[in-house]
Chains A and B, each alone.
Chain A
Amino acid sequence: MVKEKENSKFPPLVDGKSQYDLTSGKYLRVWQGPQHPGITGNMSLELTICGDEIIDCKTHVGYLHRGFEKLMERRKYIQCFPVVCRICVPEPDFNEYLFAACTEELAGIQIPERAEWIRTLNLEMARLTSFLMWIGGQAGSFGMGTIGQWTVTLRDYMLDLFEELTGGRIYHMYMLPGGVRADFPPGWINKLLDTLKTVEKTLDDVELAMMHNAVFKMRAKGLGIITPDMVDKYGITGPNARAAGVARDIRKDSPYLVYDKLDFEIVTGTKSDAYGRCEVRIKEMYQSIDLIRQIVEKMPKEGPFFTKLPNVLHWRIPAGHTYKRAECTRGEYGFYVQSDGSDKPRRTYVRGPSYTHAVALMEHLAIRTNIADTAGLMVSLHTYPPEIER
């Protein structure tokens, strides 16, 4: 924490907390949100400001609380699938995959090899789609709305592909226990490769227009610095940690699906500020494009994609508990599922990366930033509120 100078305009800090008197007239309390410019969803920041600088920040969630975990306690395993994908709007596939993987592990089901490849392809497409949405928010929060329009168009092209493959644009319900729901439609792979070319071309433009923009550099550099020693303290994962030089990527460290058969390196940065995190994410977008191409090339062209299951409406999963994790765009996404031997899960816990990033970390990083940069800081942490309150 910054050491206070004498006669500083900021109130004194005691145990890392500002000691201020709101009635003194020097400070103002403002609310940003629940329609917050810095996130996809609803969340509020209660900010106390001195001039235009933030001296205290409190995150308020609950605007999207739909009680998914409670809902799942009363639903059969197969009935949970339309519920889980709704936990994270821009990246629902990770919920589907993790819940399916936990169920398979507890029930002792082995899925066909081709299903694993298709799932990996789906997850990488979801990562790319989510990043395309994020970059729109990041550019928009620093006044570069045009870039957001380019990337949201690209996201729509990706959603077209999802629609053709799964029948749904946003929520796919494609990965079920036992494999995936359908094979590729005829000609779909070619459309995917064409779309990737378009995305790659526009990404070059985005990188040029955004990362070399003087205003963006001035505002994003040094904003919300995460140091490597904060990573474990605050449970920081994903690009937020990798930008600080912490080379941790679940796809590489504990490979799931077919990531051990793919060739890629962990992308790291040297400084985790808003600019550094942006650099890492853009590199990861190129990485996702490359991984999708590798998957298309290496995957078995024919074979089963679904294992026969018992009657899912009377399906009892043996008692036990497990935890599965995957690397989504924001960090570690995990599902803890406990079964008591009945046809409904006893407990499902969703570990969303935004849980730690948007609450404890945001409250820490917001101090001493300018109120105009709050939205930029928020997007640079890449958080989605629905996975905080589940």
Chain B
Amino acid sequence: MTVKNGVKKNGGASLSMSRRKFMGTAAGVAAAGSITGFPNIVQAADPIRTIGLGVSIINEIQGKAAKDLGFKIRGQALGYGALFGKTLNQNDQYEVSECYFDMFDVMIPSGVFQPIDTKRIRDWDKVSNLTKTGMLTPGSQVGQGDAPVRQLWVDENGKRAKGPSRYISALPGWHNADSLGYNPDDTGRPIESWAELFNSDFKGRVALLNIPQVGAMDAAMGMEALGLIKFGDKGDMTKPEIDTLVDFLIKKKKEGHFRAFWETFGQSVNLMVSGEVALQSMWSPAVTAVNAEGVPCIYASPKEGMRGWHGAISISKKATGKKLDQAYEYLNWWLDGWAGAFVARQGYYMSTPANTKKHLPADEWDFWYEGKPAAKELPDPFGTPLVNKGQVRDGGSYEQRFKKIAVWNSIMTENDYLVKRWTEFLTA
């Protein structure tokens, strides 16, 4: 099946829906339900509110969900800090929070969410083992830090439980594993270890992610790969470990090792495209964006493993009655496959790969999930050509990538201390 057919197919479905809408709202919604296989919601319902990062709050996604489900979904895209703050402090301002498992050391004790009953999640059986056991495939490495499996299972009161249990803290969503991006022309050789982040060959041509929680972990991967320190848990460092790490970073900074620190996706793309850096911590879709600018950039698969992160769709404790039912419908919709196919075209994976596969043309599935060369030019989620024919996704297949997660994004117990020392690092 060609991509064009795929797009047409979607377009066709929406066309038939809008045609049917003329037949009356209730019938139209019922028809939409029957087309997509969702249970009918006959009455027009109140909107629900969802918050998240730009990764998952995209007009096309919530718009399609609203169309399929028959009620409005008001999405609000926030920055990481604002999402964290709003999720924690204003759970009356959303029904659904599309947040991340690394926030859950804070969110679970705070009790802002209600436990999600897996009996109400239709495709719960199809959710992969990545979050349920921590191992996507048998024998995979779970990884240090806030691995989703350590944050997932709760009891009916929302307290942590030893899994598997009937209740979960949040529904596993989109996820990815990050590492280093590099310009092979500048480095002159393949980058195969996090240790290269501190290699003096690249002095003055290295950038690091300036979100302390994540940047510190990238740096820790590098330091450990150099054999300078062995962290007990890179996702939960002790104060002395943080001191060792930051002192080392300050030393490197004073040597002029770092070209810049980036905070947003766009900045990391800029640094690479403008030739300012040769090597930097990077997010997978940013590498694709650099390539789209015609600048060579490779996503490293370091032998030490990658740093993973995982989206977690949660329901506010304040959601009750009909809104709660709608929230569950929205969660179920996320797993159904359309959304999985959408985020796949941005380079993210979904917790129900089997459903995603149903919604992705074979060429695209092979490229994004299997790590095979693109059989033809492939589009981004909005239909713009993104991947050239013959291009191969860096980092290999989904399974390869998640077989060896070194550490998961985490908020450490000593987070405040880390942020304080990180400030010192930047001021130095």
Pair from one complex: no
B residues neighboring A (CB under 8 Å)? none
Chain A residues within CB distance 8 Å of chain B: none
